[in-house]
Amino acid sequence: MTGAIARDAATGSVLIDPNKCVHCTACEMTCPFEVIRFDEDAMGPEGKVVAIKCDNCIDRLRAGGQPACADVCQNGAILYDKPTASSAAAMRPAAEKPGKISLGISLFQILAMFRRGIYYTYLSVYLRHFLGLSVTETTLFVTVPLIVNIIFQTLVWGAFSDKRQLRRTLIIWGEFLAGIGTVGVWYAHTLTDSYTAAGYVIIIGLSVIEAFWSMSNIGWTALIADIYRYKDRMKVQGRLAGIGGIGRFGGVWIGGLLYDGLGAQYAGWGFHNGPLFFIAAGAMLISIIPILFVPEGGIRRERHQPVASIVAPDNNSTSMFLIFLIGMIFVNFGKNSVAVMQTQYLMLESGFDVTSQLLSRLINTQSVALILTGLAAGWIARLIGTGYALLTGAAMAVGALVLLATAGSLDLIYLSNVLSGSAEALILASSYAFVSILIPPMRRARLFGLFNATFFVSWALAGTLVTGPITDILITSGAVEEFAYRIAFASAGAMTLIGLFIHGLLVFNLKPKNV
């Protein structure tokens, strides 16, 4: 440590020496009152960006006076005195206080993961085994919509959110429009007698929906960073991942029951006749209610003055951000490239040939692991640090993919899902906390759009470009379907391993030492 920040022995004020500051951001990350920002200091070297904060008018204090703001305030609103437990608590951001905000965020996360449990577990099975699309074509129902999502996040809604500092408003409109659109997609895909055409109607329809649903995605990501401090973000994201796992558990369970109409209808009935589309749409519309209990968010001028000087990142922090994104591309593309294909693989007649009900139990093993690990994420971060938590999650993801590629029994598939769920919780929580320190608050929405891109697009782009074609080429060449899927899973593990290596370099060599 440079010793740039210290407490003045005579007055008790915390002071920053601009000549010693190296802009490592450690003080900003640990400050409980969020009062540290970065800019040039008139008392420091010209052109050097350093940490700055109020020094309580130190010269006045040393002369026996008090800060100028306390002197000139006519209403007694500003007092200079030793802090008490109650006054210190009042100074902290309101978002860390329990209550309706935490409840609103938690309920929204449950509903968001509920609909994902339905979509990502069973829709690919419907497209593949009912509508007859190829493996690569089934990945398009995620790839194309999420590419649209990322384009609109980064080029439209991210810039709009940063300019207007609106978060909750975007979430509400995004969920409303996506809910209405989901019902429209179901209806449109029933208008054609061609199963292949119906599959592409779903893909195109979901792509149109994502242009608006991306409003909710970017608003949500920036909102969490707005209302929670860095030191709390991994704990909060871990808790949300765990709570969201409850929603996903419910979505997978409902999907398993209704996919074949409780076993009384044909496989695919839940999507073909609409119940699963309607339930997903209802979850989106209902999710608007809890989000009304959450503040608008945004970086408010009254909390940070001057706004333009909250962060002025140097070349080192920019390099760290780019390296981090590259690592996330490999980690997310590897572990998520099999998300669409795994359910198809498990239901293969030449493989495990599981029923939709058994599939729901297998996938919900992930959900349980996600819940438990997510709830423990805050403790894990305190124990080993955010960076090492990220590496642990990536290593577990590699292990899960290796097991999936080599498993000869359902017991090993269960173990693979346990590792996968735990990895998802750790990676989601730690990566969000890690990247949040690299992003200037006033550019949160736009840069979080790039971070989100590594996650959203990974759900199927790697499947469309890598694991899907590998599977289709091997099947076309005469390979057994089960073997083709296993090779694809192994390639996904290799991608994740590359990301683990990149993040290892970042954690051990480039990151701030206390992260």
* 60, 91, 122 - which closes a domain: 91
Report the DSSP beta bridge partners of residue 100.
none
Task: Assess whether 36 and 168 both reside in one domain.
Answer: no
Q: 187 and 278 in one domain? A: yes
Residues 217 and 330 in one domain: yes
Same domain for 145 and 44: no
pLDDT digit string, tens, across residues 425-452: 899 888 877 777 777 665 666 677 778 7
Same domain, 115 and 28: no
d(CA 319, CA 317): 5
Note whether 283 and 405 are same-domain residues: yes
3-state secondary structure of 10: coil
Q: Based on the number of CB atoms within 10 Å of its own CB, is 204 exposed (0-12), middle (13-18) or buried (19 or more)?
A: middle
Same domain, 342 and 372: yes
On whether residue 515 sits in a domain, the answer given is: no
- pLDDT, tens digit, 9 for 90 and up, residues 352-375: 888 878 888 888 898 889 888 988
Give yes or no for a contact between 137 and 201, defined as CB atoms under 8 angstroms apart: no
**Distance of alpha carbon 429 from alpha carbon 431, whole angstroms:** 6
Measured CA to CA, the distance from residue 436 to residue 457 in angstroms comes to: 20
Can you tell me the mean pLDDT for 389-403? 94
Query: Which tokens belong to 4?
Result: 């740039």
> In the prediction, which pLDDT does 304 show?
39
The pLDDT of residue 445 is: 64
Alpha helices for 153-298 (secondary structure H): 158-164, 168-189, 195-227, 230-258, 269-272, 275-286, 288-291
Total domains in the fold of the chain = 2
Give residue 155's identity as a one-letter amino acid code: L
**Phi and psi for 22 in degrees, rounded to 5?**
-115, 15
Q: What's residue 48's pLDDT? A: 74
Same domain membership, residue 244 and residue 190: yes
Burial of 379 (0-12, 13-18, 19+ CB in 10 A): exposed
Q: pLDDT digit string (tens) for 125-160?
A: 899 889 999 888 887 887 888 788 888 888 888 888
Cα(475)–Cα(351) distance, integer angstroms: 14
**Which residues face 50 on adjacent strands?**
39
Residue with more model confidence, 396 or 163: 396
Query: What digits encode the pLDDT tens for the residues 267-309?
Result: 899 999 999 999 999 999 999 999 998 888 765 433 433 333 3
| CATH of residue 290 | 1.20.1250.20
**Average of per-residue pLDDT across 240-252:** 84
Asked if residues 16 and 53 have their Cβ atoms less than 8 Å apart, the reply is yes
Structural domain span for residue 87: 5-91
Q: Is the pLDDT of residue 113 over 90?
A: no
- State whether 108 and 82 are in the same domain: no
Please tell me whether residues 61 and 176 are part of one structural domain: no
Give the residue with greater pLDDT, 487 vs 73: 487
Is 325 in the same domain as 266? yes
